[in-house]
Chain A
Amino acid sequence: MRGPSVSNPAADGARGGILDREGALAKLMIAPAILYIVAMIGVPFVLAVLYSLSDATTGDPSIKLVGLRNFAAALADPVFRLSLWNTVFFTLASQCIVVLLSRLLATALLKTFRGKWLVRFLIMLPWTAPISLGTIGWLWMLDSIFSPIDWVLRYVGLLGVPGALLGAGTNLYYLGIPGLAISSIILVDVWRILPLATVIQLAGLSSIPKDLLEAAEVDGASPWRRTLMITIPLTLPITSIAFLFGVVFTFTDLVVVYVLTRGGPVHTTQVLSSWTFFKGIEGGDLAQGAAISLFMFPVLAAVAILILRMARRTEVV
């Protein structure tokens, strides 16, 4: 019993076309991405290296190789050395704080409670809003005259009265005094990365199979022991990834420093990215700028390798 018949186009002698061939199609589909990345990331990177070895400026942008002169000049420059130190210090300080806080927050977010979506939204705001605009909010909070933080401090008597804990002045110059400026930058760095680190850690924590923890509980392990011997080792790769990404974003960041302090006061909050910008783009010294920025590269390469290692080390069961 057969149904109404249908013609079979395959009966004619046609062969498959390019839309059938796996190999050719695969290469064709990936080509634009590869071409773009090579052209817009690979080539500029090589150019950056060339610039760093030249004496190019915006006035005379031709590349004439002059050896490692720019790197030597950078290392001899106290502002550069300061920005190198700052970059490392700001990054490590802020990210160590972030790792601890995000772990705490992620643990809290594992629990169910009412209004979770609202809490999540608020906590994520520093990352989900454009970085420059969020930082603008902080600009006012840290203002030398109108800071609401100072207002509160004055209100509770910690500031503004003789003998007060934080001094008799009406304001703390968060962005004007080197020590405070540095702390402010670190604070905003923490503020910005915390949401991202938290969500990554949360993903890691929720991926631990419940059975493992329950078995440990049955075996008699206390909550501390369970955390120390099961949770922490199992989430170490994810926590490391969160840390490493935080490091990358803070290490290369220009926005926070530019918007809050422009690297001041007197370069005390200068970082590699901002110094590169001021020297290379605003100052027009392309060669110097390129050289300064390339100091970031070894750290980034090391971090990339670590991230790969961590990603490989992940699954458990």
Chain B
Amino acid sequence: MPNVRKLAGRGGLYALLGSFAFFGAFPFYWMVIATFKTDHDLFSPLNNPFLFNEPPTLDHLKLLIFDTHFLQYLLNTLWVGLAVVVITLVVAVPAAYSLARWARGWGEMLGIGIFLTYLVPPTILFIPLSRFTSFMGLQESLWSLILVYPTFTIPFCTWLLMGFFKTIPKDIEEQAMIDGLSRFGAMSKVVLPLSISGILTVVVFAFTLSMHEFIYALTFISVSMKKTVSIGVPTELVRGDVFQWGSLMAGALIASLPVAVVYTFFLDRFVAGFTMGAVK
């Protein structure tokens, strides 16, 4: 009875996918609910947590926006993110191009070496780096983050771009040189315009990786006003010993979703970088 089997197969597939989707997304679904539930509803253990037993409220959002530094956190995160993107682009693009095109043999090795520095964890480096930032007078400043975050964006993005530049045929650059440009001119006027999607990928990753970062931010910054959203939300939305759950969830939600949406679009490229070109 092939149809029943097929149906059962399909059903099984949907069940499986549904469970995984549920597992992955449930905490976020929860954030949505908690954002709009009144405290009274939220903190009554007998109330059904999945339904709105009392009408939804915007109080938590109001608290978040007007009574906390949340907007400041967002601004800080934005500022750090953009600065890190710029630094990463300026350093990684030429490096990746150089490695992709002009280094026979040792280029590949160096590229892999650079990528592997991505694996050196912040928890080994944060002690010396915290001394370093205080030595530079950058403690409690967003500049400490801007200075340190490229330690993970540059290695990863250089590797990513290397793979990307390799897909542009050499012919085109050589043709441009014969047509009258210098090597550098060929790169900037012909190759870069063709690399827009690769560069866009780097922008997205550098920004999202900065936004996600927790450890360095926690270590270098303790002044509330200077916090990024990643550490600000978990550490600041506390009154005494009590979490402001509603606002906490609201903050987490607002800061997570837009990034997640954009990141999802670029996920394939991310994986290409991770599999180190193992999967073409």
Contacts and interface: CB of A to CB of B under 8 A. Distances in A.
A–B contact (CB under 8 angstroms): yes
A19 B243 CA distance: 59
Interface of A is mostly: helix
A25 B102 CA distance: 9
Interface residues of B, number: 101
Given A134-B256, A146-B45, A308-B112, A199 B267 contact: yes
Interface stretch (B52-60, B128-136, B190-198): B128-136
Q: 4 closest A-B pairs (Cβ-Cβ)?
A: A137-B27, A252-B121, A29-B94, A33-B95
Contacts of A202: 271
A289 B127 contact: yes
Interface-central residue, A21, A27, A132, by most chain B CB under 10 Å: A132
Contact of B123 (A134, A194, A277): A277
Interface residues of A, number: 104
B185 A19 contact: yes
B276 interface: yes
B105 to A, nearest CB: 13
B254 to A, nearest CB: 9
Contacts of B124: 45, 48, 290, 293-294, 296-297
A237 B123 CA distance: 28
Interface of A: 16-17, 19-23, 25-30, 32-34, 36-37, 40-41, 43-45, 47-48, 51, 61, 101, 104-105, 108-109, 111, 113, 119-141, 145-146, 148, 151, 170, 191, 194-196, 199-200, 202-204, 207, 237-238, 241, 245, 248, 252, 254-255, 258-259, 272-273, 276-277, 280-281, 286, 289-290, 293-294, 296-297, 300, 303-304, 307-308, 310-311, 314-315
Given A125-B24, A133-B233, A314-B279, A286 B95 contact: no
Contacts of B263: 124, 127-128
Contacts, number: 298
Contact of B276 (A36, A191, A311): A311
Contact of A41 (B45, B102, B125): B125
Nearest to B245: A140
